[in-house]
Amino acid sequence: MTTGSLLVADLVIAVLASAAWLGGGAASAARRRPLALGLAAVALLATLARAITITALARAGWWFAAEKVLIAAPLSLAAVGVAGPRLLRAPGDIRAVAVPLLFAGYATSSALLVTILHGYPASAGAGLLAVAGVVAATVISGRALGARPSRTVSRAALVVAVAALLTGTGLTVVPAAPPVPHDHGYPVARISDEPTRRVTLTAGTARVDASGRNVAAWAFNGQVPGPELTATVGDVLEVTLRNRDIERGVSLHWHGYDVPNDQDGVPGVTQAAVRPGQEFVYRFRADQAGTYWYHTHSASDVGVRMGLYGVLVVRPGSVTGLDVTVPVHTLAGRPLPAPRVEQVAARVPVRLRLINTDSTTHRYALAGTAFRVAAIDGVDLRGPTPLADTAVLIPAGGRYDLVFDAPATPVALFVDGRAVYSTGPVSTVTDAWPVLDPLAYGESAPMPWSRFDKTFTLVLDRGLDLRGLLPRYAHTVNGAADPDIAPQVVRLGDVVLFTIVNRSQTVHPWHLHGHHVLVLARDGSPAAGSPLWLDSFDVRPGEVWKVAFRADNPGVWANHCHNLAHADAGMTLHLMYS
Ligand code: C2O
Ligand code: CU
């Protein structure tokens, strides 16, 4: 069983246990004896079963089980300890066990709430709040049911509850993270070399065609995707960004391109958003070949979704053969690009540059030919071997370059089952194909570093964020949401190790700006294939990734989930050079 499914199983069992204890309590209060006993039996079994799931999760990593071991387990023990013996005595009047059963229900549900609302790291505050809730609810139920605990017992209980509530509230308020120093002067240390490629991108509202339907969009130069920017290594790009009428503001982020910090296009961090009527000029040298893309980083969730993105391809020199970019996007619910069919002569070398500009993973399957994955996230792989009848999963923001020599018969590229590019009719069904694991593909090479100067752990989860004006159910990192997540501070030259843990129920495509990270391990198994230098990688529920990089690009860099709705809902932090 994967850790992801263990997390789900544990949650389901916890919900079942709470519901059965509470239901049993209600049934016994209503003197429905068989129902009460039946539910209590289910509750007991479910509570005991959690011992198994919690132990298994703790073995997968303390991050997955901390609050379950420290808070849920003691509360569950209390539940069983209080309700169990009374049930075994099988009272003549079933109503006598109502309060103990309800107590067990409150104990298990408040532990469940700690997991759902608070998560990792477990805190004394959350534990105390949970205890306070259980005591208060039990006392109130006892009174309502006319059970007469002695005055001293219920007074003492109330005092405990109030004290726990007060200390708990104090302890759960996390101290604010040191603020990311936003330099509102935004000095631009633009390189002085004469540009060799000049482009103007004007952002504006537009109506565009999306697979046969005319839809409202936000577009660069009136088109979605925006113009494809191409360069040759060594070129100096100068891109003038203008905003015609996008009220939310725009900027250009060169996704995966490790530009100098002041060209990174993150409003509030490296520049101010470009407002309607304003412009901003980006200038940088194209010194890395590969497949990249650009997109607005202002209101990025809605901005990218509405169409403010485009392709950036940097080639090492002249192109031989056919070079095709396939930027996949969902615009107003319609898939882009429209299917393209072209004739290709046999033996022509073909490179398909696959780009996922959506916020969720896509599955790509190339049928009709053997192929190799030449590059991932713009970086060439070492010793990629031929693959056939194998699909690849590309995370949000990620890019794969597939290469092959055109066979005499047609080939077709399917994205989630839809033919997007083909050289003729292909009727292969690709749904059942196995998926490539990039960690086991290509030829390995020795690790470039033997020690780490800085290590950081990022635990991805969901939780209640009470720090803003309105409480929100945020996507969190280490229990906090943007802007309260402590930045990761490094020094120039440091070798930095990140451990990224997903204890939530959703995939988080992780994306660090300004650096490519080398994948070291996933779930404890070392990466065994070609070195993988990624800027976007899916951390699935229950997974633990270890990645490292050298801090060689000074500045303040966004480090966030590239499911941009998650990034907006809290899952953004910053890497800072001291
Ligand atoms: Cu493509 Cu900060 O993102
Ligand atoms: Cu996410």
**Residue 318, pLDDT score:** 84
Q: 558: CA distance to ligand 1 center in Å?
A: 8
Asked whether the predicted pLDDT for residue 219 surpasses 90, the reply is yes
Instruction: Ligand 1, residue 256: give the atom nearest the CA.
Output: 1
Asked whether the predicted pLDDT for residue 434 surpasses 80, the reply is yes
Smallest-distance ligand from the CA of 509:
2
Q: Check if the beta carbon of residue 263 is closer than 8 Å to that of residue 530.
A: no
Of 148, 174, 123, 260, the residue nearest 465 (C-alpha): 174
Strand pairing report for 372-376 and 379-380? antiparallel
State the DSSP string of 374-387.
Answer: EEETTEEPSSPPPB
Q: 462: CA distance to ligand 2 center in Å?
A: 10
Q: 516: CA distance to ligand 1 center in Å?
A: 13
Asked whether the predicted pLDDT for residue 52 surpasses 60, the reply is yes
**Residue 173, pLDDT score:** 60
Instruction: Ligand 1, residue 536: give the atom nearest the CA.
Output: 1
Instruction: For 70-97, write each residue's pLDDT tens digit.
Output: 999 999 999 999 888 888 887 788 888 9
Q: Which residue has the tokens 């289910």?
A: 42
Q: 567: CA distance to ligand 2 center in Å?
A: 7
Where do the DSSP E strands lie in 332-490? 334-336, 340-341, 349-356, 362-367, 372-376, 379-380, 391-394, 399-405, 412-415, 418-422, 454-465, 472-477, 488-490
> What single letter denotes the amino acid at residue 243?
N
> What single letter denotes the amino acid at residue 441?
Y
For the chain, percent of residues with pLDDT exceeding 90: 83
Asked whether the predicted pLDDT for residue 181 surpasses 70, the reply is no
Smallest-distance ligand from the CA of 361:
2
For residues 14 and 568, what is the distance between their CA atoms, to the nearest angstrom? 30
For the chain, percent of residues with pLDDT exceeding 70: 95
- Determine the average pLDDT of the residues in 177-189: 60
Residue nearest to atom 3 of ligand 1 (CA): 255
CA 6 to each of CA 112, 212, 381, 455: distance values in angstroms, whole numbers, following the listed order: 15, 43, 34, 27
Instruction: Ligand 1, residue 560: give the atom nearest the CA.
Output: 2
Instruction: Ligand 1, residue 295: give the atom nearest the CA.
Output: 1
Asked whether the predicted pLDDT for residue 213 surpasses 70, the reply is yes
Q: How many CB atoms lie within 10 A of CB 457?
A: 16
Residues near ligand 1 with C-beta < 6 Å? 253, 255, 295, 297, 397, 511, 513, 558, 560, 562
Of 189, 282, 283, 188, the residue nearest 235 (C-alpha): 283
- Determine the average pLDDT of the residues in 489-514: 97
Beta-sheet strand order (sheet of 349-356): 334-336, 322-331, 349-356, 399-405, 372-376, 379-380
In whole angstroms, what separates CA 96 from the centre of its chain?
A: 48
Q: 523: CA distance to ligand 2 center in Å?
A: 18
Asked whether the predicted pLDDT for residue 172 surpasses 60, the reply is yes
For residues 96 and 82, what is the distance between their CA atoms, to the nearest angstrom? 13
**Residue 494, pLDDT score:** 98
Residue 478: which region, alpha, beta or left (left: phi > 0; alpha: psi -120 to 50)?
left
**Residue 192, pLDDT score:** 75
Asked whether the predicted pLDDT for residue 159 surpasses 90, the reply is no
Of 325, 422, 394, 405, the residue nearest 370 (C-alpha): 405
